[in-house]
Structure 1
Amino acid sequence: MSTSDSDTIATTDSTVTPVENTNRKQPFPRGFLETITSGWAERPELTPDPRAQAAYTAARRAAVSAAFPGRRLVLPAGGYKQRSNDTDYPFRAHSAFTHLTGWASDSVPDSVLVFDPRADGSGHDVTLYLRERADRTSAEFYGDATIGEFWIGPRPALAGVASDLAIATAHLDHFVAGDSDVLLDDDDELTRFVSELRLIKDDYEIEQIRLAVEITARGFDDIIADLPRIVQTPRGERAVEGLFHHRARVEGNGEGYDTIAASGPHACYLHWTRNDGAVVPGDLILIDAGVEVDSLYTADITRTIPVNGTFSPIQRKIYETVREAADAAFAAARPGVKFRTIHEAAMRVIAERVAEWGLLPVTAEDALDADNGGQHRRYMVHGTSHHLGLDVHDCAQARREMYYDGILEPGMVFTIEPGLYFQIDDLTVPEEYRGIGVRIEDDILMTADGPVNLSAEIPRTADEVEAWVAGRIVTS
């Protein structure tokens, strides 16, 4: 960044709180202080119509209110988090705050959503407290690099936010914490409830996840089209990451999580995000990436691609086994069955195939024994599915009986993502398997008629992937 608060903010105006570290500060001259607050055009106070999700967020707030009668609930958006010294990470509001307000990528740090119980016991008055935009006659306007509009651009006004979100607003200065407040992330009951509230997605949420998947698909196409240049880049994994980031920022808010661009043996490390390796013809590259759209809903998709466009026989065998496991999991997903059935179906395929290949010291049935088995999990240690939405691992604070042991219902959105990973130094597998990692991950919507693969248009079979690479590579 070209400037920071330590570059220029020092002033003789006593209304600006001095900063302790002044070694780089230049005082504002009196002439600046006398003229900076005048000569500005009038700013229109916009009061837009409520955004599309306002009716949905009102229904969500009503559900929260009904679940906590007579209790004052406080749900902060959160604030900036320090990256280093005087720089912060980009702000992202708490997912529960966004879910209940509809305020997403445009939300303001330090805002607080408050449910005040009515005296007559008829529910709650809900107020969104936020820092009102500062008048240009105030020192905050030019003297505060964190929130001053001279530095960060226009901030929303209370009336505009109230109209936009269809919710009452008040200045943050008027918020007073109470001793009996039920505070999000401090109170287990509230934290659990707002997490479980997101298990079933409404029409708006489903639409946003579909959009995230569509943009993610274009991000994968960008990578495939540029494979020749990626191969020529010493840290080709970074080139993959950068291409996806460009698409995510141009069409969305960014990535929903750190992109995994894992080529060759790196694909066997489940959360490889260093992305500092070469992309070498003959290897596979595992790309796990998802675009987060402006509403903050995200996709989460993985494809494993042969860098030179063609799977070797052993790569194809492993890849198609993973696809078989994914297809079995998809077939098992039906309304009314337990969520864990998805994982069990995928793991049966994995156990049977690695047993056939002679990689297990026991039979597949022995490995699948819930108490004494698990030998096959050496090659797939992670779960097969997780809920998806505002968080890539959505509804994470839900109770086990509502999540892993819960029942699949229409409106749920989740991943199916089996894999096989044979690490480069794993002596339990033949040498030809070592260094091969494969994962296939799709985003699934459960409907009354069964599951729908939202990411099915992104090539999945080995033949489709080879044709994808052959058809999209740009040569120049």
Structure 2
Amino acid sequence: MTADSDTPPLSATTETAPVVNRRQRFGQGFLDAIGSGWAPRPATTPEAAAQAPHAAARRAQVAAAFPGRRLVVPAGGLSVRSNDTDFPFRPHSAFAHLTGWEIDAEPDSVLVLDPTSRGHTATLYFRERADRTTPEFYADAAIGEFWIGPRPALAEVAGRLGLQTAHLDSFTATDEDLTVGEDDDLTRVVSELRLVKDAFEIGELREAVRVTAAGFDDIIRALPEVIAHRRGERVVEGVFHQRARSDGNREGYDTIAAAGPHACYLHWTRNDGAVAPGDLILIDAGVELDSLYTADITRTLPVSGTFSPVQRRVYEAVREAADAAFAAARPGARFREVHEAAMAVIAARVAEWGLLPVTADEALDADAGGQHRRYMVHGTSHHLGLDVHDCAQARRDMYYDGVLEPGMVFTIEPGLYFQIDDLTVPAEYRGIGVRIEDDVLMTAEGPENLSAAIPRTADEVEAWMARLRH
């Protein structure tokens, strides 16, 4: 448990300082001594961040869309988890994208693009670290360096990011500001800016996928321990968490470790169930790097190492749908065509198995159909980047109805889910949930599967598990 912070008193005996139940007062001797006896903070010559020139180019694009307007991009602040403990801070994705400041970004920082006769000038405002003689240094558990460790200096950040910096106290908001999260047009522009990734972003996403693949290997190796534990799903989550924290920043989203019928719940993150031989386990997980770019991968594994005939039938139908989606993903195609190609296979297979009251063609009718969606209610693809569901504020005609371009990164993730109490399917299907999700980079030649090294077909999955478990 964290230690208690103190409310800074005016003196050891002052009566004006508030008394807070569990907090102890500082004695005058402490107050007299705390500000002295410290070695000078070492001078640093920061290296320019690799993403700094990319962030500068992005700022120029945003500024060009709003000539003469003052643009404000907040990083956001700390969010309370319980009482006086906070969730780990993560800056707003637009802020990280436009500054290049990632896991070390300070809460409450603000990027401001001020209009000039030649365009805009950029200033990054954040709270400079406190002098050691101030109460902030020793008494503020949220931001004091005595509590949380060294904080960045203005000059250090300016050198790393190639940005002018200033103390947060000098920032003043105006009624004329356009602010991300408040102004719809600016929020849309900074979201659409991420639809096509630059070289730095693509490199980070490749690395995030690579580390995520290692996390899936870890899970397979740990399956004996997973099976033995009464809450094996939570063991799966923990094994992946260790990889994410050791080789990245953390997970890009809450891990889904869904065994047996839990795999039919699309966002099962409770992860408190057993993992039993004979069942499938659906694992949807992604490592977020220090740069805040995240992977998003799903694999469905037979816990025993071998699919049963009905499990294999469902699994291979989903894999066939994924392959159809890959085939539809071409430069110039509409984003929605990827989903339509996957759904055509899903409808055909569930109709073939006698699960629909209509034909596959009738189910695919946009207005009167949709019966097959009972078994796959979600979309097949979403953009991926700083957010696991990236670019979410983009216009529909730029996203769902948008044209696929080289540099776009998105998922392909069809699935089939037959819930345990679904009486519209035969008993042998009930409780089976399958999803296969890959991360895809669109190139001029077509889609590149960034996660191709993680086995996909039923035969490949069985061989993968056999190799790592023996």
Q: Same fold (TM over 0.5)?
A: yes
AA aligned opposite 2:282: L
Aligned ranges for residues 256-275 of structure 1 at < 5 Å? 256-275=252-271
Check the 8 A contact 1:444/1:451 in 2, yes or no: yes
- Are 1:242 and 2:241 counterparts? no
Aligned ranges for residues 3-402 of structure 1 at < 5 Å? 3-5=3-5, 8-9=6-7, 11-13=9-11, 22-118=20-116, 120=117, 122-402=118-398
In structure 2, distance between residues paired with 1:81 and 1:19: 26
AA aligned opposite 1:39: G
Measured against aligned partners, the alpha-carbon deviations of 1:294-341 in whole angstroms (never above 9, x if no partner) come to 000000000000000000000000000000000000011000000001
Check the 8 A contact 2:255/2:284 in 1, yes or no: yes
Check the 8 A contact 1:235/1:276 in 2, yes or no: yes
In structure 2, distance between residues paired with 1:222 and 1:175: 47
Question: How many residues are aligned here?
Answer: 469
Displacement of 1:139 after TM fit? 1.4
Displacement of 1:18 after TM fit? 8.1
1:2 corresponds to which residue? Answer: 2
Check the 8 A contact 1:200/1:412 in 2, yes or no: yes
2:455 corresponds to which residue? Answer: 459
SS in 1 for 2:122: strand
2:432 corresponds to which residue? Answer: 436
Cα RMSD between the aligned structures?
Answer: 1.4
In structure 1, distance between residues paired with 2:100 and 2:188: 19
Displacement of 1:12 after TM fit? 4.6
The TM-score, its normalising length taken from structure 1, stands at 0.97
In structure 1, distance between residues paired with 2:360 and 2:458: 25
SS in 1 for 2:397: coil
- Are 1:470 and 2:442 counterparts? no
AA aligned opposite 1:37: G
Displacement of 1:49 after TM fit? 2.4
Check the 8 A contact 2:68/2:115 in 1, yes or no: yes
In structure 2, distance between residues paired with 1:20 and 1:85: 18
Q: Could you list the structure 1 runs, at least 4 aligned residues long, displaced by more than 2 angstroms after superposition.
A: 8-14, 16-21
Runs of 5+ unmatched residues, structure 2: none
In structure 2, distance between residues paired with 1:361 and 1:415: 31
- What is the aligned counterpart of 2:443 among 443, 447, 467? 447
Inter-CA distance 199–268: structure 2 relative to 1 (3 Å threshold) = same
Displacement of 1:398 after TM fit? 0.1
AA aligned opposite 1:269: Y
Displacement of 1:135 after TM fit? 1.0
AA aligned opposite 1:256: G
Inter-CA distance 111–344: structure 2 relative to 1 (3 Å threshold) = same
Inter-CA distance 19–393: structure 2 relative to 1 (3 Å threshold) = farther
AA aligned opposite 1:358: G
Displacement of 1:11 after TM fit? 3.7
In structure 1, distance between residues paired with 2:149 and 2:15: 21
SS in 1 for 2:341: helix
Check the 8 A contact 1:219/1:243 in 2, yes or no: yes
Displacement of 1:46 after TM fit? 1.7
Check the 8 A contact 1:11/1:29 in 2, yes or no: no
Check the 8 A contact 1:12/1:29 in 2, yes or no: no
Q: Percent identity?
A: 72
In structure 2, distance between residues paired with 1:324 and 1:46: 55
1:421 corresponds to which residue? Answer: 417
SS in 2 for 1:27: coil
Displacement of 1:234 after TM fit? 0.5
SS in 2 for 1:46: coil
In structure 2, distance between residues paired with 1:106 and 1:342: 37
Measured against aligned partners, the alpha-carbon deviations of 1:260-287 in whole angstroms (never above 9, x if no partner) come to 0000000000000000000000000000
Question: Which is further off, 45-54 or 353-362?
Answer: 45-54
Check the 8 A contact 1:279/1:285 in 2, yes or no: yes
AA aligned opposite 2:53: A
Displacement of 1:45 after TM fit? 3.1
In structure 2, distance between residues paired with 1:319 and 1:181: 52
In structure 2, distance between residues paired with 1:46 and 1:274: 45
AA aligned opposite 1:111: S
AA aligned opposite 1:211: E
SS in 2 for 1:109: coil
Runs of 5+ unmatched residues, structure 1: none
In structure 2, distance between residues paired with 1:20 and 1:386: 51
Measured against aligned partners, the alpha-carbon deviations of 1:325-370 in whole angstroms (never above 9, x if no partner) come to 0000001100000000100000000000000000000000000001
SS in 1 for 2:345: helix
Inter-CA distance 264–17: structure 2 relative to 1 (3 Å threshold) = farther
AA aligned opposite 1:171: H
